[in-house]
Structure 1
Amino acid sequence: MLPYIVGYLDKISATPGETLKVHVSCTTAEQYEASLVRTICGDLNPKGPGFKEEQVSAVGDGTYPAREQVCNAGSCVLVLPQAAYRDIRSFTLQAHIWPTTPELGDQAVISLQDAHGGGVRLGVGKDGCMELVATDRQGQQLRLSSGVKLTERQWYFVALVFDADAGALCLYQEPYARTGAGEAPVAKKLETKEALDLPSEPMLVFAARMTGMEGERCFTDLHFNGKIEKTRFARGALSRLQMEVLRRETIAPEVAGTVLGFWDFSREISGERIIDLSKHAAHGKTVNLPTRAMTGANWTGEEVNWNAAPEQYGAIHFHDDDLHDAQWDVDFELILPENLKSGVYAVRLVAGDRSERIPIFVRPVQGSKRAPVAFLASTATYLAYANLNPVPFDIAELLSSRLIILHEANRLIDEHKEWGPSLYDIHSDGSGVAYSSRLRPILNFRPGYISSFGTHGSNLREYNADTHIFDWLEAQGVDYDVITDEDLHAEGYPLLSHYQTIVTGSHPEYFSPTMWEATKSYVDGGGRLMVLGGNGFYWRIAYHPALDGVMEVRRCGPAIRTWETQPGEEFHSFDGKRGGLWRAHGRPPQSIVGCGFISEGFDLSTHYRRTQASKNPRAAFIFDGIDEDVIGDFGLQGGGAAGVEIDHADPSLGTPTHALIVASSEHHTESYRLVNEEMSITVPTVTAPVEARIAADMVFFETSGGGAVFNVGSIAWAGSLSHNGYDNNVSRITANVLDRFTNPEPFVLE
């Protein structure tokens, strides 16, 4: 295992004077130095402008002792001890389960226990069969297995019954519906000869076993992979008929007197609370954000929107690698100076020969004077790609058309899966990752990160590609503020209205409805928008309604995607809206920024060639001082300004009819593939019949409110800005557009 120093902050965006809580884990030295730095360029490529940062004095700078902190990944539901649970004798626990990795064994479905694991649990045994385990205070165990292996992705009714008077434990494992597996119901009994040594005040844990607690922080293991629904807890040893009655959606009168807990996962789906419908109101709480709005055993397929039939979405999908909050202790606090200029900063940690830089975006104080330009940091995109793992290599190498080289950060991501996956990864059970949080170490969201997945000659992706735009703004002496996607989602249009021009990063891919509508209102109302990237405004996302820094994606097609939502699970749990592409919601990127995603390729980038439309007088300001027709035949991302992920104009998808396509790329390699949503049928060779369509279009158009949009349609654009000491036609075009966009003279829509 590699030694490291890593950390995270409690915020991603802050104002001068605010305090940052810094969480650190370090295994490489006994102490580390902490300081605040201003990030100018985070790219280590020696062919670029160089890695640039400036130290800023701040309260909290200093030396701190190092320690290792660990993440307790894996999701569950915790129900704290209740008065009604004290001194139970006979009882019944039951649930529906849909196991996804029964072959892994040792997974707890329901645990009735103390904080140290003593008690009884119902779960999957080492042999892949349902098993009950009773553990006394001395650690002695009784075990009973069903003896029949569970079939993955098959619904089962499972139950544990203890009859204190008879001194017997019973285990039930029944397929919910008969399938081709030919499984028969199983009921097993174990004579205990004595009462179970249960905790006097037990707690319930669904999908894990508790191993300890520190304040509100719980430690768990034996995490269950799969769905659970209809968890029930009853006093007394219920008969099979009584258990069947307890499986209903509501509490039936004939069993009401026995019910200790009757949890309905279909209620309050957008939150963390798990509702108990019994008179005890023993509401639970999710830990590490298991996936909600999941189809249950009673899903008919007639309704695919959980809002319309919530009773069919009473399942939660738990994973052993879910992570919301790493819950590390705060190592120190750092106070941002009161006079700090809005910009991009980082908390720098140095331990021996290793370092860590945790980004923080500093926005202006409310009510303060604003710069004419705001850079909109694509924090939703950073969060979507957080800790993207380049493994498996075969897929990564196929997409990039080259061998993958793992750098230290890539190896750390692979070694520490407990730091949480990206929204492009799949969970350990093969299901897609729908939630991402920033309250954890995110190693590829760092100045100096070297990506293993990029174009030849480049390590630029997401955040570090965007630092080339920061660097260019600094080199040009532009007065600018920095705001983030989270800020935009929280404040909407009023945030953008402070600025004459908004500049996006290189990959503004993920947008919430609030962000999309705010940007559209800004553009329509006279704002000026410069999209300096590609694959923009593509996926519709949802932010958690109560938890900061948590976002959700449901990858339903057609789209280029690394996993696919299961039938009936296309709607976000956070906001109840369908996920997928904005295009599928009648809002293609072309309808707001002129062009949208058409292709991606990770080998080489190419150049643009000016079109006849570039000679239009309306576009004269864009090409002022530029005589050549070829634009951007140079750059740090694959050798050109047009590449990686590229967008094209299409009037049928909403590109304004008056928009000017002033340049288009040409001569992309065969590795550039047409996006799925552009194909209604596959053909033997994708690129040959549609080669003319695979191009990055540079688009300009005016809006009725006196504003305008300029879109370069390429992720690689940012990597060409610094070429030849910023003296090049990519830099010149960007400067020309920014100069005109910050000129208050209204654009005229003819």
Structure 2
Amino acid sequence: MTLIGYADRWEALPGEELGFKVSATADYAARIVRLRHGDTNPRGPGFRAETVADIADRLPAGVQGIDLGSYLRWDPDADFDDGAMMAGLSLWATLPGPDEQGLLCRSDGRGQGYGLYLGADGAVIWRSGAAELRSEPIQPHRWHRVAISRDRDGRIELIVVPQAFVPGRQEHRFVQQGQPAAATGPLLVGAAREASLYRPRGGFNGKIGDIAIVAGRVDPATMAKLAAGTSPDAPAIRWHLGIEVDGRRAVDLSGFDRHGEVVNRPTRGVTGARWKANADRYVDAPDEYDAIHFHADDLEDCRWETSFRYRIPEDLKPGVYAAELRSGDERRHVGFLVTARPGRATAPVALLIPTVSYLAYSNEALEPELLGALTPLRNRHLQAEDYAYLAEHRLLSLYDRHDDGSGRCMSTIRRPNLTSMNPLHRCRLYDAPHQLAADLHLVDWLEEMGIAYDVVTDHQLHKEGAALLRSYKTVLTGTHAEYWTAPMLDGLEAYRDGGGRVVYLSGNGLYWVAALDETGDIIEIRRRGGSESWKAAGGEAIISLTGEHGGLWKDRGRPPQRYVGVGMASQGFDRGAPYRRTPASHDPRAAFIFEGVDDELLGDFPALTLGYGAAGYEVDRVDERLGTPAHALVLASSTGFSDSYQYVREETFFTTPFDGGTVNDEVRSDMVYFECPEGGAVFSVGSISFCSCLSFNGYQNNISRILRNVVTHFSRA
């Protein structure tokens, strides 16, 4: 791959500057384009973009690397005397090998110093200079207590104690005499060394906790305490990892304020060696959560150098843009959004771009064969070079797993994103656009209809709340607005009930609980109870950034039906279906929606997603028990889904053969309209595929007409 890159932010206001970070093996050209349509399917309008600015005809090549791995680092102060020292920690390894992994190390960057390591075979290794002690291989996914010591004459000692009973292996003690070894550089937990600042080597996979270090002396009584996991007297460092789990600090309780820095956002708020399986929230029992789950493939920031900058002109129209990079025959788009200034609407319509969902799906690399016969359109050859790059550099999404099998619960903006912000992306599960590429179906339609609109984002809604939306008569969602934070839900509800009009053009929306860090660049989730690709471990369903329960908003008492009238019913990957109008569609309250539409079947024609039908991929249904207003009109419901569409697991109490689209009436997409206080209203389509039908027949079709009727009516004073 010749070109890869990312912007330092995904959104910017007019007048602000964006930096673009590029890794290129050859010289390249760059320009800024306004994106209108990305889908290259020949049945649609094709790729549409307009040049806004030329950056340079030739920018120099420069390859930028990616250093993965989370760890804890501390730069020793002048009073820290580790010529003689003892340390104890609890260890829960998940993936030994293929190389040594650093547990607690201090070296000069070339490996000179001391270190506690996990060997490739699973042995615990204590090395000081040329002296080395090695235990037998430990059992992965089991807690062990490890204690080490080194004295001034070179003697080292290692004790390994499994927490669970293992016949004949309750305590291993090893002693060796060597030469004294000097140690310089930072003290690291979870990595062997740093090639340079924040660029780790020898990353660890697993949990480490209960860390205590005694410096300046070695004595048998303290060593016994460290081996037993009891508090030593006068420690030089006592890092408590169950405190301040939302931040980047490892809190030191020694009294010396030797707080460590936690790098690359490992998973925090996880159960430790003392967890009793009674508490399920770290705030209720911090001592039982005194651990961090480190991963050798964690990443918060690639820390690439900026390759070029672009200042957004003050008069640039809000919209979807990209830096288009070209080298030879290769073309790469680095997407970004130019948003309207909060409170300064330039149009009556706002397009709410689901950037939080983009962040969750960033670099999604689920195997196309994952769902087998349910995905007949799968195509593993799509974006082959892109996926090879993602695999090589392990830049995966919240749908994927870490190398050690644990679920990825954090994702970052500060890295290349080859899927959800890529206008040419096609999902391998069903060979069609997803996220930004699918939302451009809607952007293209707005442009074609001549409807003036502003772009606003999930991130802005999270920060500004309802105040962001109140400048607009109408707010349109994207096609897959799945991940929502609590402030986002609060803002949407307040806008709607304050007279705002919402057009929900998504399926499987308002579904997962998400949280953002203080910068907005990091998302965190904990999967539990929904249609999921991994599940949070017991006691670990609480989001570390906020302390709130993860999982589904439905299980938090905030189902999507409460906000937009419909909620997740099913997903399928073979073919969409049309809607059939109901008698309620002829209610005078809905007359404006169907003006000029006489058809009983809606969207009964080709689509750019799944090939056919306006209802499809992931679909939502009404349910008064979950909050659909009693006065809501169900205007149309889909018909004709196959058994590729299965009723969602969170609504199924028993596994039966009767949950497919051919037999279960709950497997459907409902089109809904209802009024809200102060003149507010909601129109929902409950289908990801809906917008992929808008351009059919030169935009002259009943789906396009219905949406235009709704947006036009909602946008009036």
Which TM-score band applies after superposition, normalised by the shorter structure? over 0.9
Give the match for residue 169 of structure 2: 183
* Contact preservation (8 Å) 1:604, 1:640: yes
Give the match for residue 420 of structure 2: 445
Report the more deviating stretch, 675-684 or 396-405: 396-405
1:9 aligns with 2:12: no
Match of 2:408 among 429, 433, 452: 433
* Contact preservation (8 Å) 1:80, 1:204: yes
Give the match for residue 206 of structure 1: 189
1:92 aligns with 2:63: no
* Contact preservation (8 Å) 1:274, 1:286: yes
* Contact preservation (8 Å) 2:105, 2:187: yes
Cα drift, residue 350 of structure 1: 1.0
Q: Which residue identity lines up with residue 127 of structure 1 in the other structure?
A: D
Q: Residue by residue, what CA displacement relative to the aligned partner does 1:493-538 show, whole Å, maximum 9, x if unpaired? A: 1101111100001001000000001001111111000011211100
1:355 aligns with 2:314: no
Cα drift, residue 421 of structure 1: 1.3
Q: Which residue identity lines up with residue 531 of structure 2 in the other structure?
A: I
* Contact preservation (8 Å) 2:577, 2:614: yes
Report the more deviating stretch, 548-557 or 731-740: 548-557
**What is the CA–CA distance in structure 2 between the aligned matches of 1:650 and 1:203, rounded to whole Å?**
57
Give the match for residue 339 of structure 1: 315
Equivalent residue of 1:112, what SS? strand
Give the match for residue 540 of structure 2: 569
Give the match for residue 504 of structure 2: 531
Cα drift, residue 367 of structure 1: 5.5
Cα drift, residue 454 of structure 1: 4.4
**What is the CA–CA distance in structure 2 between the aligned matches of 1:57 and 1:354, rounded to whole Å?**
19
**What is the CA–CA distance in structure 1 between the aligned matches of 2:18 and 2:315, rounded to whole Å?**
16
Equivalent residue of 1:618, what SS? helix
Q: Residue by residue, what CA displacement relative to the aligned partner does 1:99-150 show, whole Å, maximum 9, x if unpaired? A: 0013545111000222333211101113211111234xxxxx433211x111
* Contact preservation (8 Å) 1:387, 1:420: yes
Give the match for residue 34 of structure 1: 30
Match of 1:553 among 525, 529, 534: 525
Query: After the TM superposition, which residues 502-541 of structure 1 pair with which residues of structure 2 at under 5 Å, given as runs?
Result: 502-541=475-514
**What is the CA–CA distance in structure 1 between the aligned matches of 2:345 and 2:247, rounded to whole Å?**
37
* Contact preservation (8 Å) 1:323, 1:418: no
**What is the CA–CA distance in structure 2 between the aligned matches of 1:244 and 1:734, rounded to whole Å?**
72
Q: Which residue identity lines up with residue 174 of structure 1 in the other structure?
A: V
* Contact preservation (8 Å) 1:390, 1:410: no
1:173 aligns with 2:160: yes
1:542 aligns with 2:523: no
Q: Residue by residue, what CA displacement relative to the aligned partner does 1:247-290 show, whole Å, maximum 9, x if unpaired? A: 899965xx21xx22111111111001111122331211111110
1:618 aligns with 2:589: yes
Match of 1:420 among 390, 395, 414: 395
* Contact preservation (8 Å) 1:370, 1:499: no
Q: Is the alpha carbon distance of 1:182 and 1:372 closer, same or farther for their aligned partners in structure 2, counting shifts above 3 Å?
A: farther
Q: Residue by residue, what CA displacement relative to the aligned partner does 1:681-730 show, whole Å, maximum 9, x if unpaired? A: 11134227952111100000001221100000000001000001100000
* Contact preservation (8 Å) 1:41, 1:447: no
Match of 2:18 among 17, 20, 29: 20
**What is the CA–CA distance in structure 2 between the aligned matches of 1:183 and 1:598, rounded to whole Å?**
52
Cα drift, residue 586 of structure 1: 0.7
For structure 1, which runs of at least 5 residues remain unmatched after alignment? 136-140, 745-750
**What is the CA–CA distance in structure 1 between the aligned matches of 2:713 and 2:418, rounded to whole Å?**
38
Q: Is the alpha carbon distance of 1:358 and 1:162 closer, same or farther for their aligned partners in structure 2, counting shifts above 3 Å?
A: same
Equivalent residue of 2:411, what SS? strand
Query: After the TM superposition, which residues 706-745 of structure 1 pair with which residues of structure 2 at under 5 Å, given as runs?
Result: 706-744=679-717
* Contact preservation (8 Å) 2:427, 2:434: no
Q: Residue by residue, what CA displacement relative to the aligned partner does 1:43-68 show, whole Å, maximum 9, x if unpaired? A: 1111111100001126x445310111
Match of 1:280 among 248, 256, 271: 256
Give the match for residue 459 of structure 2: 486
Q: Is the alpha carbon distance of 1:249 and 1:120 closer, same or farther for their aligned partners in structure 2, counting shifts above 3 Å?
A: closer
Give the match for residue 132 of structure 2: 143
Q: Residue by residue, what CA displacement relative to the aligned partner does 1:429-470 show, whole Å, maximum 9, x if unpaired? A: 000000000100010134443424344xx5221111100000
Give the match for residue 598 of structure 2: 627
Q: Which residue identity lines up with residue 131 of structure 1 in the other structure?
A: I
* Contact preservation (8 Å) 2:321, 2:337: yes
1:43 aligns with 2:39: yes
**What is the CA–CA distance in structure 1 between the aligned matches of 2:285 and 2:663, rounded to whole Å?**
43
Equivalent residue of 2:689, what SS? helix
**What is the CA–CA distance in structure 2 between the aligned matches of 1:550 and 1:501, rounded to whole Å?**
29
Report the more deviating stretch, 5-14 or 202-211: 202-211
* Contact preservation (8 Å) 2:645, 2:661: no
Query: After the TM superposition, which residues 621-700 of structure 1 pair with which residues of structure 2 at under 5 Å, given as runs?
Result: 621-634=592-605, 635-638=607-610, 639-687=612-660, 691-700=664-673
**What is the CA–CA distance in structure 1 between the aligned matches of 2:143 and 2:109, rounded to whole Å?**
30
Equivalent residue of 1:346, what SS? strand
Q: Which residue identity lines up with residue 400 of structure 1 in the other structure?
A: T
1:464 aligns with 2:459: no
Give the match for residue 180 of structure 2: 195
Give the match for residue 380 of structure 1: 356
After TM superposition, the score normalised by the length of structure 2 is: 0.96
* Contact preservation (8 Å) 1:321, 1:417: no
Q: Is the alpha carbon distance of 1:442 and 1:390 closer, same or farther for their aligned partners in structure 2, counting shifts above 3 Å?
A: same
Q: Is the alpha carbon distance of 1:262 and 1:336 closer, same or farther for their aligned partners in structure 2, counting shifts above 3 Å?
A: same
**What is the CA–CA distance in structure 2 between the aligned matches of 1:482 and 1:247, rounded to whole Å?**
58
Cα drift, residue 164 of structure 1: 2.2
Cα drift, residue 93 of structure 1: 2.3
Report the more deviating stretch, 35-44 or 275-284: 275-284
Equivalent residue of 2:495, what SS? helix
Cα drift, residue 400 of structure 1: 1.5
Cα drift, residue 312 of structure 1: 1.2
1:164 aligns with 2:136: no
Cα drift, residue 178 of structure 1: 2.0
**What is the CA–CA distance in structure 1 between the aligned matches of 2:461 and 2:390, rounded to whole Å?**
34
Equivalent residue of 1:522, what SS? helix
Q: Which runs of 4+ in 1 moved over 6 A?
A: 247-250
Give the match for residue 229 of structure 1: 209
For structure 2, which runs of at least 5 residues remain unmatched after alignment? none
Equivalent residue of 1:374, what SS? strand
**What is the CA–CA distance in structure 2 between the aligned matches of 1:727 and 1:82, rounded to whole Å?**
72
Give the match for residue 118 of structure 1: 112
1:606 aligns with 2:564: no
Q: Is the alpha carbon distance of 1:622 and 1:381 closer, same or farther for their aligned partners in structure 2, counting shifts above 3 Å?
A: same
Q: Is the alpha carbon distance of 1:739 and 1:525 closer, same or farther for their aligned partners in structure 2, counting shifts above 3 Å?
A: same
Cα drift, residue 359 of structure 1: 1.2
Q: Residue by residue, what CA displacement relative to the aligned partner does 1:80-101 show, whole Å, maximum 9, x if unpaired? A: 1311235x42111221010001
Cα drift, residue 238 of structure 1: 3.6
* Contact preservation (8 Å) 1:107, 1:207: yes
Equivalent residue of 2:236, what SS? strand
Q: Which residue identity lines up with residue 414 of structure 2 in the other structure?
A: L
Give the match for residue 77 of structure 1: 72
Q: Is the alpha carbon distance of 1:172 and 1:562 closer, same or farther for their aligned partners in structure 2, counting shifts above 3 Å?
A: same
Cα drift, residue 413 of structure 1: 4.6
Q: Residue by residue, what CA displacement relative to the aligned partner does 1:657-701 show, whole Å, maximum 9, x if unpaired? A: 000000000110110011011111111342279521111000000
Report the more deviating stretch, 318-327 or 125-134: 125-134
> RMSD across aligned C-alpha pairs, in angstroms?
1.9
**What is the CA–CA distance in structure 2 between the aligned matches of 1:595 and 1:309, rounded to whole Å?**
38
Match of 2:550 among 579, 584, 598: 579
